[in-house]
Amino acid sequence: MTTIGANWAGTYEYGAERLLRPRSTEEVAAIVAGASRVRALGTRHSFNDLADSTGDLLSLVDLEAHPVIDAAASTVTVASGTRFAVLAAHLEAHGYALHNLGSLPHISIAGAVATGTHGSGVGNGNLSTAVAGLELVTGRGDVVHVSRADPRFDGMVVALGALGVVTRITLDIQPTFRMRQDIYLDLPWDAVLSTFDEIVSAAYSVSLFTDWTGDALKQVWLKSRLPDASSGVAALLLPDDFFGAHPAGDKVMSPAGDDIDNTTVQGGVPGPWSERLPHFRADVTPSNGDEIQTEYFVDRKDAVAAITAVRALADRIAPHLLVTELRTVAADTLWLSPAYQRESLAIHFTWRNEPAEVHALLPEIEAVLAPFDARPHWGKWFAMGADEIVPKYERAADFRALAEAFDPQGRFRNDYLERVLALPLR
């Protein structure tokens, strides 16, 4: 068996037999038509076996990007394996922007879309909500094009690779805009619990970082959209006090490692959206790099109660944690989106590379979040199985029907889909 290698953090080893690198949709279609088992692999940013296969893996990173901007439709179409950093730079150079980016611009567009990956902001849907069209190769080897006009569309965007190999994606774009990023330190827990909605609504994108201990959160990252994209100055004044937190006097390093200099420009310096929305620069290893990740989504109306429940586990969590990030995500209509039909709080854990300890903690965290109907991030670690996950998604049966229609032979099935969605292997 050929060794495929590991995910980006080195914490999951792929078990597929072969790694193939097609350069076109036609090559993808030919490979799928002749495969018994096959899965698509992007930039390896999932932490579990979602993208793995007992057969072949198709790396999408060699698909020619060729971004095509349609100014009249306000869209861009690009190869699915393209990293967000590459597309963002292209759009910015042509005067356009996406509505949001994730904290890591290194991730592939298809991988982020398929898993409902997100940025932050009470008014910002996850990255999948920008999708206006898909080109995908079905389990029969057919090439299919779908748009929002298709009644199946909301079930085909966040699809976990179960419907086919997505080769090109069309995304909504808008005129470019400028932003500033400001960081505050030591936000009191009392303020978070008493004025949560005001805090997370204070900027276009807000992230709260904590290790769950002490009387204050470590950091608040405010990403503010400037009112005039053509001005070179910030027409926005920020207070010296932010709900009891104080401005960071120096550049803040990675929240997951104080000695790692990999973050984007801070200190209120105006810049393009593409260089302020991500937390991490595209030219360096993001976050800590040697880590495991977990994330759960709860209804934002339950945010304070859910945070309080997790905080009660602080003594169990902190020894194994690098950092937790709290972010908000707008509701959407995508069937398998963790933010489906509810304004959400995402509670993210960046763990130390301690697999046994993290595995032991997950059921405890899921137990305290159970009253809030927490949904896990599809591409990160969680303990829930299909019996717990499927009831959280009212369109799950409709999605399974789509999987049967697009992949009747089960070429895209794997252990993950059987375990978390009860899509049986054949």
Measured CA to CA, the distance from residue 212 to residue 216 in angstroms comes to 8
State the pLDDT confidence band at 1, using cuts at 50, 70 and 90. Answer: very low
Match domain 68-175 to its CATH number in 3.40.50.20, 1.10.10.10, 3.30.465.10, 3.40.50.720.
3.30.465.10
The CB density around residue 68, as the number of other CB atoms within 10 Å, is 11
Measured CA to CA, the distance from residue 65 to residue 10 in angstroms comes to 26
Mean pLDDT over 36-52 rounds to 92
pLDDT score of 18? 92
Mean pLDDT over 297-318 rounds to 98
pLDDT, tens digit (0-9, with 9 covering 90-100), for 214-266: 999 999 999 999 987 555 555 667 889 999 999 998 888 878 777 778 889 99
Asked if residue 290 has pLDDT above 90, the reply is: no
For domain 178-376, give the CATH number.
Answer: 3.30.70.2520
More confident residue, 234 or 39: 39
Asked if residue 393 has pLDDT above 90, the reply is: yes
pLDDT score of 260? 78
- Among residues of the chain, what percentage have pLDDT more than 70? 97
Terminal CA-to-CA distance of the chain, rounded, Å?
22
Q: What is the largest CA-CA distance in the chain?
A: 62
Domain positions in the chain: 68-175, 178-376
Q: Angle, nearest 10°, between helix axes 303-311 and 355-369?
A: 140
pLDDT score of 191? 98
pLDDT score of 238? 82
Contact 61, 42 (CB under 8 A): yes
Mean pLDDT over 176-182 rounds to 96
More confident residue, 257 or 382: 382
Measured CA to CA, the distance from residue 21 to residue 128 in angstroms comes to 24
Mean pLDDT over 11-17 rounds to 90
Measured CA to CA, the distance from residue 65 to residue 80 in angstroms comes to 8
